[in-house]
Amino acid sequence: MRRRTVLAGLSASLAAGRASAQAWPSKPITIVVPFAAGGPTDLMARIVGERMARELGQQFIIDNTTGAAGTIAVGKAVRSAPDGYTISIGHVGTHVANGTIYKNLNYNLLTDLAPIARLPQNPLLVVASNQLSVKSLKELVEYLKVNGDKVPGGTAGMGSGSHLGALAFFAATGTKYQLVPYRGTGPAMQDLVANQIQVMVDQSSNSLPQVRAGKIKAFAVTAKARSAAAPEIPTAAEAGYPMEVSIWHGLWAPRGTPPEIIAKLNAAAIATLQDPDIRRRLEDLGQDLPTPAEMAPAAFAAFHKEEYARWEKILVAANVKIE
């Protein structure tokens, strides 16, 4: 499924010129978003993309290409011309875990993409439908011990953040719920609010606004410490079920994109995350922002590689694979 939205930059109409690295960007830049509109990755792309568009004086087009937990979207970005006009946004699921889980990917996440910048990370929240009659993580675990096979829970597909969160939840609590795949946790959240599904371990940026609106309940945060954005929500460890999963995001270009273009995109991403309004918006959603040093392409490439190796071990040990 595909959907396009245009984010306008201030001087978009003034830009013109040759498609060389020096003249870049002379036309709109497409960000391929691997999940549905209205979900956490889409939100990150829109918040960051709108500000980067202003920084670069060009429009950013949001291209939501969904399905197969982001593998279709990333493949599309990998195969795009390496000219800086198509970039890929994703997270520890799409750009790390999927490399281990999907055996027949026709691209290599570490060598076919050129890192542009690391983007913020947020923890997951263990959330439930208001109609589920449990009031704490402990009660949820007791409930799932008896009813787990009948309780539908949302994910954005195998390898997505909400799937990694579910795996951590299963490992920490010794319980399970049914994994119902969606094209993103934006649509899954609508079903959680409507009690079509009953649980989810979902990114704080997607869950917190619904928790604040009283539409769902949150039992725990999967981080070492409580989040400053929602200090009333205990950590999973406080209830006796330690889980630490953080969903970090990033931007990549196809391999072979000129380094000067990567540098311009990186500078725009750094300027974006220095903007106090952007920082406030992201922090309010429970996001932790990387430092400019962590955002540098080389530092991000090293981090990406480390995370790939770390998750490969976890996913192989948990025997997670597509049959």
Between residues 155 and 257, which has the closer beta carbon with respect to ligand ASP?
155
Q: Does 186 bind ligand ASP (CB under 6 A)?
A: yes
Segment 270-309, which members bind ligand ASP (CB under 6 A)? none
Instruction: Report if residue 161 touches ligand ASP, rule: CB under 6 A.
Output: yes
Stretch that binds ligand ASP, among 55-63, 183-191, 218-226, 280-288 (CB under 6 A): 183-191
> Residue 84 interacts with ligand ASP (CB under 6 A)?
no
Is residue 234 within 8 Å of residue 221, measured between CB atoms? Answer: yes
Interaction residues for ligand ASP, span 214-233 (CB under 6 A): none
Stretch that binds ligand ASP, among 37-45, 108-116, 125-133, 291-299 (CB under 6 A): 37-45
* Site membership for ligand ASP, residue 241 (CB under 6 A): no
| Segment near ligand ASP (CB under 6 A); pick from 126-134, 155-163, 191-199, 301-309 | 155-163
Report d(CA 323, CA 320) in Å as an integer. Answer: 9
Dihedral (CA of 240, 215, 286, 32) sign: positive
- Residue 58's nearest CA partner among 35, 33, 87, 91 is 87
User: Candidates 2-10, 17-25, 180-188, 221-229 — which segment interacts with ligand ASP by CB under 6 A?
Assistant: 180-188
Among 65, 100, 160, 173, binds ligand ASP (CB under 6 A): 160
Q: Does 35 bind ligand ASP (CB under 6 A)?
A: yes
Contact assessment for residue 2 and residue 65, using Cβ atoms and an 8 Å cutoff: yes
Q: List C-alpha distances in Å: 315 to 47, 140, 322.
A: 31, 25, 12
Tokens of 232: 């009333």
Among 88, 162, 210, 266, binds ligand ASP (CB under 6 A): 162
- The residue from 9, 123, 153, 184 that contacts ligand ASP (CB under 6 A) is 184
Does 42 engage in binding with ligand ASP (CB under 6 A)?
Answer: yes
Q: Which alpha helices (DSSP H) does 58-182 contain, by range?
A: 71-78, 98-101, 137-147, 161-173
Q: Are 159 and 248 in contact (CB under 8 A)?
A: no
Q: Which is nearer to ligand ASP, 40 or 75 (CB)?
A: 40
> Residue 40, interface with ligand ASP (CB under 6 A)?
yes
Rounded CA-CA distance 270/264 in Å is 10
Query: Which residues, other chains included, contact 216 with Cβ-Cβ below 8 Å and sequence gap of 6+?
Result: 127, 128, 129, 130, 189, 192, 193, 207, 210
Based on the shown chain and the rule CB under 6 A, indicate whether residue 156 belongs to the binding site for ligand ASP.
yes
